[in-house]
C-alpha cells in the first residue's frame, strides 16, 4: 500500500513532549512486510515510563526520603509535607524524558532533535532556551503535579497493593542504569516507582468513584436546561486565498463574498442545497457525483453551545426556521452562511455507542487505497478473539479523528439527529437489526470511515450530556483539591542534575 508518512512501531516509552503530558503509544518496530504498509499513529497521552514500566506522568515522580549517604540522594529538589524528590531520582526522570523525546522524534521528521554527543546546556531548543532548560522545566512541572497527587493519597490513607510493590522491586532489579546519571541506584528507582504508582493508582481510584444519580442529573438539567438544547442548521463556507490579498488582488475575495451573499438570500433548504450544488459544479468545476455528496453533507446538528458565539447569539436571539446568517470572517479568509432548519430543543432521542476509524485519503495515495486499508483492518478485527478490543487498538493507532482516537475510537451516546459522521453512519447505527460487533465501511470523497457497533446506550442524548458535564466538573474539583497541596522546589539544587 502506497501510504504517506509511514512510521515504525516502537517500544512503548514515556514521553513528556513540550508539556510532558503526552504518551508515546506507538508499538514495537514493524518486522513483517505486511505491517510495513501500515502507518502507525503515535498517541500522546498523560503517561510516563520508568525503566520499561508504564506509569502516569501526571501522577507522581515522588520518592520517600532516602537514608543513603550519596550526594545526589541528599539533595532534595522538590518536596511536600510527606514526600521528597531528590536529585538522583530527578536525574532518572530527566533521562527518561530525553530518551522518550528522541524515540518519538524518530517517527516524526518535523520534530527538532538535539546532538547526543554534546551537552544539552550548550544547545538551544528555541530562542534563548536550551534543551536542558526545556527538559528541566517540563520535568519539574510533572514532578509538582505528581507530588500533589501523592500528598492527596496520603491524606486519604490510600496505599499500594503488594502486587504493585513487587512490580516496583522487579522492575528496579531488571533496569540497566549505565545510561543514567552517575549515582542513581536501584533503590532510588524502586522507591520512585512506588510513589509514582501510588499517585497513578490513587488518581484512577478517585476517578472510578465519581458518580452521579439520575435524580442529580434531572435536577441539574432543570437548572441549566438552556445549555442542553440541540439545533440543526445548514452550513457552507466560501474561502479565499490570503496570498491573493497580500498580492493586492481582491478578485477571489470579492467573488467569495458575492457567492455567500447570494446563498444568504435563499429561502428554503432546497434552494440552499441547490445553490451550493451549482456553485460547486459551475464555479469550482467539481464533478457532479462529488458535488452531490458535498451538497448532501451540509446539515450540522449539535448542541447550541458547541457553535461559535456569534452563531449562538443568532440562534438564541429568536432566529426562525429558514432564516439565514451570513458571517464574513476576514481574519479567517472565509464567509460562512448558516440556515436554521429547526428551533432548538432538548435531544431526547435514544443513543448508541460505536467506535470509528477515520482514514483521511490525503494520508494514502487515494481514497481507494484508504478503503483497501479499512477492509484489511476489518478482517483483522473479525479474526480477533476480542473484536472490540482489537478495533479499539487499531483506532488508537490509525484513526485520524482527533476527538476519538485516544479513546479507542469510542463514540459514546450518539443520537440519531447528530450528523458528525454523516447520514450513512447514522442510518447504519440506528438500524433495528444492528447488533454488537457489526461493522461498516463508509467511503466518502476524501475519507473512509470504518465503524464498529458496541450497543445501545441506556440514556438519552441530553441525559448523557448533563452526566458527562457533571462528571467533568467533579474531576476538575478533584484536580483542584490535589493542586492545593504545597510543593516546595529548591531551584538552587538543580545543578546536581547534569542532564
- For position 331, which CATH number holds? 3.10.50
- Please report which confidence band the pLDDT of residue 119 belongs to, taking 50, 70 and 90 as the band edges: very high
pLDDT of 70: 66
Please state, in angstroms and rounded to a whole number, the distance separating the CA atoms of residues 62 and 139.
12
Classify residue 472: in a domain, yes or no: no
Domain shared by 193 and 240, yes or no = no
* pLDDT reading at 154 higher than 60: yes
The overall longest dimension of the chain from CA atoms, in Å, is: 82
Please state, in angstroms and rounded to a whole number, the distance separating the CA atoms of residues 200 and 57.
8
Q: Which tens digit of pLDDT belongs to each residue from 255-277?
A: 999 999 999 999 999 999 999 99
Classify residue 465: in a domain, yes or no: no
Domain shared by 359 and 278, yes or no = no
Classify residue 220: in a domain, yes or no: no
Domain shared by 193 and 61, yes or no = yes
* pLDDT reading at 352 higher than 80: yes
Domain shared by 389 and 261, yes or no = no
Q: What's the whole-number average pLDDT of the chain?
A: 85
- Please report which confidence band the pLDDT of residue 417 belongs to, taking 50, 70 and 90 as the band edges: confident
Q: Which tens digit of pLDDT belongs to each residue from 284-336?
A: 999 999 999 999 999 998 889 999 999 999 999 999 999 999 999 999 999 99
Average pLDDT for residues 387-394, to the nearest whole number? 96
Please state, in angstroms and rounded to a whole number, the distance separating the CA atoms of residues 315 and 229.
11
* pLDDT reading at 12 higher than 70: no
Classify residue 1: in a domain, yes or no: no
**Which residues are bridge partners to 34 per DSSP?**
none
* pLDDT reading at 357 higher than 80: yes
Q: Which tens digit of pLDDT belongs to each residue from 26-82?
A: 333 333 333 333 333 322 223 333 333 333 333 333 333 333 336 899 999 999 999
Domain shared by 365 and 328, yes or no = no
Contacts of 365 (CB under 8 A, 6+ apart): 1, 2, 3, 4
Cβ-count burial 82-102 (b if 16+ within 10 Å, e if not): ebbbbbbbbbbbbbbbbebbe
Given a contact cutoff of 8 angstroms between Cβ atoms, the answer to whether 87 and 72 are in contact is: yes
Classify residue 2: in a domain, yes or no: no
Given a contact cutoff of 8 angstroms between Cβ atoms, the answer to whether 281 and 294 are in contact is: no
* pLDDT reading at 407 higher than 70: yes
Domain shared by 199 and 253, yes or no = no
Q: Which of 314, 346, 378 is the last residue of a domain?
A: 346
Global pTM reads 0.61
pLDDT of 93: 86
Residue 370, CA distances (Å) to 46, 153, 236, 335, 400 in order: 30, 47, 26, 31, 12
Long-range contacts of 423-428 (CB under 8 A, 24+ apart): 423/296, 423/297, 423/299, 425/356, 425/449, 425/451, 428/453
Closest CA to 96 of 16, 198, 1: 16
Nine-digit cell string for 422: 454523516
The total of structural domains in the chain comes to 3
Classify residue 427: in a domain, yes or no: yes
Q: Which tens digit of pLDDT belongs to each residue from 448-476?
A: 999 999 999 988 888 988 998 999 999 99
Domain shared by 140 and 200, yes or no = yes
In degrees, to the nearest 5, what angle opens at C-alpha 259 toward C-alphas 254 and 263? 150
Classify residue 475: in a domain, yes or no: no
Domain of 42, in residue numbers: 13-209+483-496
Q: Which backbone phi and psi does 300 adopt, to 5 degrees?
A: -125, 115
Domain shared by 47 and 169, yes or no = yes
Domain shared by 279 and 371, yes or no = no
Q: Which of 325, 346, 367 is the last residue of a domain?
A: 346
Domain shared by 42 and 111, yes or no = yes
Classify residue 3: in a domain, yes or no: no
Amino acid at each position: 500500500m502506497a501510504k504517506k508518512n509511514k512510521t515504525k512501531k516502537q517500544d512503548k516509552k514515556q514521553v513528556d513532549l513540550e508539556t510532558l503530558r503526552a504518551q508515546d503509544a506507538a508499538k514495537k518496530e514493524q518486522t513483517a512486510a505486511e505491517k510495513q504498509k501500515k502507518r502507525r499513529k503515535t498517541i500522546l497521552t498523560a503517561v510516563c515510563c520508568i525503566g520499561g514500566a508504564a506509569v502516569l506522568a501526571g501522577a507522581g515522580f515522588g520518592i520517600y526520603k532516602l537514608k543513603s549517604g550519596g550526594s545526589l540522594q541528599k539533595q532534595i529538589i522538590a518536596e511536600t509535607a510527606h514526600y521528597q524528590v531528590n536529585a538522583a531520582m530527578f536525574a532518572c526522570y530527566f533521562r527518561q524524558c530525553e530518551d522518550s523525546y528522541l524515540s518519538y522524534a524518530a517517527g516524526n521528521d518535523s520534530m527538532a532533535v538535539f546532538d547526543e554527543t554534546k551537552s544539552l546546556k550548550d544547545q538551544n531548543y528555541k530562542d534563548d532556551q536550551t534543551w536542558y532548560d526545556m527538559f528541566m522545566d517540563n520535568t519539574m512541572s510533572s514532578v509538582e503535579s505528581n507530588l500533589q497527587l501523592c500528598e492527596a493519597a496520603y491524606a486519604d490513607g490510600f496505599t499500594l497493593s503488594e502486587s504493585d510493590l513487587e512490580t516496583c522491586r522487579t522492575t528496579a532489579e531488571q533496569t540497566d542504569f549505565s545510561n543514567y546519571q552517575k549515582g542513581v541506584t536501584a533503590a532510588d528507582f524502586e522507591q520512585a516507582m512506588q510513589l509514582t504508582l501510588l499517585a497513578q493508582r490513587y488518581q484512577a481510584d478517585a476517578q472510578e468513584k465519581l458518580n452521579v444519580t439520575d435524580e442529580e442529573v434531572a435536577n441539574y438539567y432543570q437548572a441549566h436546561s438552556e445549555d442542553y438544547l440541540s439545533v440543526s442548521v445548514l452550513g457552507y463556507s466560501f474561502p479565499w486565498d490570503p496570498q491573493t490579498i497580500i498580492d493586492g488582488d481582491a478578485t477571489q475575495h470579492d467573488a467569495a463574498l458575492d457567492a455567500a451573499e447570494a446563498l444568504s438570500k435563499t429561502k428554503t433548504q432546497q434552494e440552499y442545497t441547490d445553490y451550493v450544488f451549482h456553485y460547486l459544479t459551475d464555479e469550482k468545476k467539481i464533478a457532479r457525483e462529488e458535488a452531490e455528496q458535498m451538497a448532501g453533507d451540509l446539515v450540522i446538528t449539535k448542541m447550541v453551545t458547541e457553535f461559535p458565539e456569534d452563531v449562538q447569539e443568532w440562534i438564541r436571539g429568536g432566529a426562525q426556521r429558514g432564516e439565514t446568517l451570513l458571517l464574513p470572517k476576514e481574519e479567517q479568509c472565509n464567509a460562512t452562511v448558516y440556515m436554521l432548519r429547526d428551533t432548538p430543543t432538548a435531544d431526547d432521542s435514544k443513543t448508541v455507542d460505536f467506535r470509528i476509524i477515520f482514514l483521511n485519503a490525503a494520508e494514502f495515495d487515494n481514497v481507494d487505497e484508504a478503503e483497501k486499508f479499512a477492509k484489511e483492518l476489518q478482517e483483522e478485527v473479525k479474526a480477533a478473539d476480542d473484536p472490540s478490543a482489537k478495533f479499539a487498538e487499531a483506532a488508537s493507532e490509525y484513526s485520524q479523528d482527533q476527538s476519538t482516537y485516544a479513546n479507542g475510537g469510542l463514540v459514546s451516546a450518539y443520537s440519531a439527529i447528530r450528523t458528525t459522521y454523516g447520514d450513512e453512519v447514522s442510518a447504519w447505527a440506528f438500524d433495528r437489526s444492528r447488533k454488537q460487533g457489526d461493522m461498516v465501511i463508509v467511503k466518502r470523497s476524501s475519507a473512509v470511515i470504518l465503524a464498529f457497533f458496541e450497543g445501545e446506550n441506556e440514556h438519552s442524548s441530553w441525559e448523557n450530556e448533563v452526566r458527562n458535564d457533571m462528571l467533568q466538573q467533579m474531576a476538575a474539583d478533584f484536580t483542584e483539591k490535589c493542586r492545593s497541596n504545597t510543593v516546595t522546589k529548591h531551584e538552587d539544587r538543580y545543578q546536581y542534575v547534569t542532564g
